[in-house]
Amino acid sequence: MEKPAILIVEDANVFSRLLEKSATDLGAEPLIAKTLKQGLALREQAGARIVAALVDLHLPDGTGQEVLEALVCQDYATMVFSGSDNTTLRESAWRLGVLDYIVKDQLASLRYLQAVLGRVLRNRGSLAVVADDSSTARKQVTDLLTRLGLQVLGAKDGAQALELVRTTERVRLVVCDYHMPNLDGFALVRELRKQQRYNNLPIIGLSSTDDPSVSTRLIKAGADDFLPKPFAPEEFFCRVGRALDMAHLVEGLEQAATRDALTGLNNRRQFFTLANQLWANYRREQLDLAFAMIDLDHFKQVNDQHGHGVGDSVLREVAQVITRNIRSTDILARIGGEEFCLLAVNTGAADSRRAYFERLRSAIAQVAIALDDGACLRPSASIGACSAEGHDSVEAALKRADELLYRAKAEGRNRVVIA
């Protein structure tokens, strides 16, 4: 995938270098221009790759309003980063559609700019739902969220908004008015917060009412913040940005708590949480479950002979191969070292179950890791697997699968032993 580009139009070398580093650290390609003419040329060359522009207002060949009118563009998020805190220029920048106006008066302003830039990059491809019975108000909020890099779905009432959130993936934000027909903002927030999967979905409430209890009711129902109408774009961006950042932080903490840092798979704790949930369904609905322990053969020798960097590459590649060869209903985890655990759903009768795990073993054996000396490392895995039938718990089934794994090792490795 092509890297997103960030246009940096700044003639001061120190700031240019700092902004270039910020863009690079965020995984974007910095396009550096020292003049307005260079900036326009780079924009023409890069086209749709540009997702954001960082613009100084005092350049060798243009200043102030001239720079704003030339470089502020609806196709990307524009942030002014200037030493000038001129009220007229600031108001003009907001009218033209900038995402932010940041004054370079201290180091904190650079950190703030980097946070806004990171937010824009994270928002790419994400959706927001805007619920308001006023088409004018919906358009206003939609235009502002578009500057943040979000794609926006509009809803004319709370019921439509609820349906959009429930049936659409990648919704990262809901902005809703309080007074709406069918389902008002208060009821919408309560309905969303009833479901655990929406607990971390940022929700911003809006209202033009003079009733001071509205904001309190919305926040008590579960909204993250509230803004009275009319509001300034700058305040809107600050509040939405804070809500999105908090959701991103919580997602990161949840990821750290449930995912293996090296492979991105479920960790041991998450595996048992998900497996026990599935086990409860198995007991009620008679699902067909199979447990497998998968262990890479002679992995210690890989680390000893080639280093832990190569070992990590093997683990990541094997994790990806297994993931590609299982179904979305299966649960896979790395539970320690070179050992993986798999809970497979509805693999069928004994013959089809054996064929399923044999395909996994064969897929792992086809992994090839290129080494610095030009050689190729080909790992293999031993697999022990068993049906859930005859076991009274997840732990008991896994213990049996682990015993079968040891048999596979003892019988020569790179094989499946299944019961």
5-121 and 268-418: identical CATH topology: no
What pLDDT does 1 receive?
Answer: 62
CATH topology of domain 268-418: Alpha-Beta Plaits (3.30.70)
Q: What is the pLDDT along the chain (419 residues), one digit of tens a residue?
A: 688 999 999 999 999 999 999 999 999 999 999 999 999 999 999 999 999 999 999 999 999 999 999 999 988 999 999 988 889 999 999 999 999 999 988 778 989 999 999 999 999 889 999 999 999 999 999 999 999 999 999 999 999 999 999 999 889 999 999 999 999 999 999 999 998 889 999 999 999 998 989 999 999 999 999 999 999 999 999 999 999 999 999 988 888 899 999 999 999 999 999 999 888 877 676 678 999 999 999 999 999 999 999 999 999 999 999 999 999 889 999 998 999 999 999 888 888 899 999 999 999 999 999 998 888 999 999 999 999 988 999 999 999 999 999 999 999 999 999 98
Q: Does domain 5-121 bear CATH number 1.10.3210.10?
A: no
pLDDT at residue 37, rounded to an integer: 96
Q: Where are the domains of the chain?
A: 5-121, 125-256, 268-418
CATH number of this structure's domain 125-256? 3.40.50.2300
**The predicted structure's pLDDT at residue 341:** 97
- Three-class SS string for the chain? CCCCEEEEECCCHHHHHHHHHHHHHCCCEEEEECCHHHHHHHHHHHHHHEEEEEECCEECCEEHHHHHHHHCCCCCEEEEEECCCCHHHHHHHHHHCCCEEEECCCHHHHHHHHHHHHHHHHHCCCEEEEECCCHHHHHHHHHHHHHCCCEEEEECCHHHHHHHHHHCCCEEEEEEECCCCCCCHHHHHHHHHCCHHHCCCCEEEEECCCCCHHHHHHHHHCCCEEEECCCCHHHHHHHHHHHHHHHHHHHHHHHHHHECCCCCCECHHHHHHHHHHHHHHHHHHCCCEEEEEEEECCHHHHHHHHCHHHHHHHHHHHHHHHHHCCCCCCEEEEEECCEEEEEEECCCCHHHHHHHHHHHHHHHHCCCEECCCCCEECCCEEEEEEECCCCCCHHHHHHHHHHHHHHHHHCCCCCEEEC
Q: What is the pLDDT of residue 254?
A: 86
pLDDT at site 2: 80
